[in-house]
């Protein structure tokens, strides 16, 4: 048996490359990583790829990409190696065979004499008799020598009750019905999850196993196997499910569960996503919500993980992301804007000249960077770079009946704005100059045509901000064009 690590805390994240990585997987990795950081321990990344039928090409690389995006790093893993290499299970088959031989020599593993069809028939018979199917009730009296052509099964050494403590769920127990002879190594030579993850945890000196609550029912089997190998089991911490937005069931594809990198593609910041995710099922001792990784590493604790499922909330995620967007430097924010800006806008001849002017508007209006594309589709960007197209009637406020009055309002606005000094042409001075005239003649009557002349759309920033962003020359020119249209 491998000697355990000398570190107080050694944890692992061991995903299977069988498809996209969803938020439940990522939160498990995050909690394990924070637990290691809090305790100055070791965080190991291990790829559990023994289910070859379900393996998806490129999924392993995808897992690493997700973890790196959110900022999770590891001390040992398939890409960087370590003292327990290799860290991909399909490369560790000899190790599993060694442990299988230990069990065989103890009389605690045997060649399965039944075909899959025979096992299925036994299962159906149990269903017809309305009782639980237990393979151990059909265990052969004599074991054939295992030659690797048949599955190798674990022989449960003692049928008994098991009690254990879970750091999240407290004291748990299960009766003999939870124990059965399960497959250790399949006929294709690959071990099952139930076997190889325990072997790896022993070999790598894992002290804390942090994973989803769906594994609670299998822990008695794991305890039985640890016992058979004369190894003290690690400490268990099972995590509650992440629920859909309705709070009724585990978040799944049908409920909008997405590949974690889709959030990256939609313009969520990794720091915001991490901050949101850590609070899905865990809470600090106070009401604080915004944390740095260093702060989380100091205060994170498994005993504050809740037992009930945590409800997914897109609105809260967007709130976090907007908070982190507001904290970006102007340079970094501009880089994201450039990445997400639609090509139609970026290809305009004056894009580079004017884009910096509208950064404050974009920053104010988006929750994630993909919202920039939505702004474009609503017509909220192009008018900053090109003069808008509209008909003269659009300039009229709903209460105004005579378009000639609208023309007079625009002519007076042109006159007022012309008097503002070029170096003082900002939203405050523009508002101060126009406000009395707008109040005297009806704010809607005056400000609507001014705003429409500048933007050409129904929904846009207020006319004072618009004029300030466009600059004096462009503002006066657009108002003159509007006057000529009438």
Is residue 97 predicted with pLDDT exceeding 50? yes
Measured in degrees and rounded to the nearest 5, phi and psi for residue 44 equal: -110, 135
Q: 1-77+240-327 sits in which CATH class?
A: alpha beta
Q: Which strand (E) or helix (H) includes residue 211? A: strand 208-212
Judge whether 253 counts as a catalytic residue: yes
Q: pLDDT-derived band of residue 189, with 50, 70 and 90 as boundaries?
A: very high
Q: Which strand (E) or helix (H) includes residue 11? A: strand 10-13
Least confident of 154-158, 200-204, 218-222, 354-358: 354-358
Find the radius of gyration of the CA atoms of the chain.
32
Structure tokens at 404: 């000639």
Structure tokens at 393: 């009637």
The reply to whether 92-239 shares the fold of 1-77+240-327 is yes
**pLDDT, average across residues 21-36:** 96
DSSP, collapsed to helix, strand or coil, labels residue 291 as coil
pLDDT of residue 254: 61
Is residue 3 predicted with pLDDT exceeding 60? no
Q: Could you read off the pLDDT of 120-153 as tens digits, one per residue?
A: 999 999 999 999 999 999 999 888 889 888 999 9
From 125, 163, 253, 307, active-site residue: 253
Could you give the residue ranges of the DSSP H alpha helices within 249-386? 260-265, 270-278, 293-299, 314-326, 330-340, 343-346, 351-354, 359-365, 371-377, 382-385
pLDDT of residue 253: 62
**pLDDT, average across residues 195-222:** 97
Q: Could you read off the pLDDT of 383-394 as tens digits, one per residue?
A: 999 999 999 999
pLDDT of residue 256: 65
pLDDT of residue 4: 47
Is residue 475 predicted with pLDDT exceeding 80? yes
Q: Of 52-56, 119-123, 202-206, 282-286, give the range with the top mean pLDDT.
A: 202-206
Residues 453 and 466: their CA atoms lie apart, in Å, by 10
* Burial class (CB within 10 angstroms; exposed 0-12, middle 13-18, buried 19+) of 334: middle
Structure tokens at 148: 């690797």
Q: Could you read off the pLDDT of 238-275 as tens digits, one per residue?
A: 999 999 988 888 887 666 679 999 999 999 999 999 99
For domain 92-239, the question of CATH label 3.30.930.10 is answered with: no
Sign of the Cα pseudo-torsion (121, 122, 128, 132, in order): negative
**pLDDT, average across residues 369-396:** 94
Domains of the chain: which residue ranges? 1-77+240-327, 92-239, 328-385, 392-485
Q: Could you read off the pLDDT of 416-425 as tens digits, one per residue?
A: 999 999 999 9
pLDDT of residue 148: 87
Is residue 1 predicted with pLDDT exceeding 70? no
Sign of the Cα pseudo-torsion (12, 15, 20, 22, in order): negative
For domain 392-485, the question of CATH label 2.40.50.140 is answered with: no
- What proportion of the chain, given as a percentage, has pLDDT over 90? 88
DSSP, collapsed to helix, strand or coil, labels residue 73 as coil
> What's the chain's length in residues?
486
């Amino acid at each position: 048996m491998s000697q355990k690590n000398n570190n107080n805390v050694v944890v692992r994240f061991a995903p299977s490359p069988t498809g996209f990585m969803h938020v439940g997987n990522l939160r498990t990795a995050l909690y394990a990583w924070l637990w290691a950081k809090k305790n100055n321990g070791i965080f190991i990344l291990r790829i559990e790829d023994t289910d070859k039928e379900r393996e998806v090409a490129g999924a392993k690389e995808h897992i690493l990409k997700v973890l790196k995006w959110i900022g999770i790093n590891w001390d040992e893993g398939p890409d960087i190696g370590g003292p327990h290499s290799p860290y991909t299970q399909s490369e560790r088959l000899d190790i599993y065979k060694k442990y299988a031989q230990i069990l065989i020599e103890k009389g605690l593993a045997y060649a399965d004499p039944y075909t899959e069809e025979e096992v299925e028939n036994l299962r159906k018979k149990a269903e017809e008799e309305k009782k639980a199917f237990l393979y151990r009730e059909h265990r052969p009296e004599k074991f054939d020598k295992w030659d690797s052509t048949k599955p190798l099964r674990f022989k449960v050494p003692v049928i008994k009750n098991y009690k254990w403590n879970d750091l999240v769920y407290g004291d748990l127990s299960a009766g003999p019905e939870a124990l059965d002879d399960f497959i250790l190594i399949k006929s294709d030579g690959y071990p099952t999850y139930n076997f190889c993850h325990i072997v790896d945890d022993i070999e790598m000196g894992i002290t804390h196993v942090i994973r989803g609550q769906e594994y609670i029912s299998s822990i008695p089997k794991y305890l039985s196997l640890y016992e058979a190998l004369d190894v003290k089991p690690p400490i268990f911490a099972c995590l509650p499910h992440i629920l859909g937005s309705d709070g009724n069931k585990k978040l799944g594809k049908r409920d909008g569960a997405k590949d974690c990198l889709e959030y990256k593609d939609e313009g969520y910041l990794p720091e915001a996503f991490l901050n949101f995710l850590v609070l899905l099922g865990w809470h600090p001792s106070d009401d604080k919500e915004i944390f740095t990784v260093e702060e989380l590493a100091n205060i994170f604790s498994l005993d504050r993980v809740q037992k009930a499922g945590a409800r997914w909330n897109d609105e809260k995620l967007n709130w976090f992301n907007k908070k982190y967007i507001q904290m970006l430097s102007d340079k970094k924010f501009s880089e994201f804007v450039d990445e997400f800006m639609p090509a139609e806008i970026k290809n305009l001849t004056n894009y580079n000249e004017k884009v910096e002017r509208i950064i404050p508007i974009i920053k104010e209006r988006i929750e994630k960077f993909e919202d920039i594309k939505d702004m474009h589709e609503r017509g909220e960007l192009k008018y900053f770079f090109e003069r808008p197209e509209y008909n003269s009637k659009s300039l009229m406020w709903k209460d105004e009946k005579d378009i000639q009055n609208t023309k007079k309002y625009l002519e007076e606005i042109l006159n007022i704005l012309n008097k503002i000094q070029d170096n003082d042409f900002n939203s405050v001075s523009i508002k101060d100059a126009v406000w009395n005239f707008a109040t005297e003649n009806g704010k809607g009557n005056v400000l609507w045509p001014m705003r429409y002349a500048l933007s050409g759309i129904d929904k846009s920033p207020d006319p004072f901000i618009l004029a300030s962003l466009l600059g004096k020359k462009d503002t006066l020119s657009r108002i003159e064009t509007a006057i000529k249209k009438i």
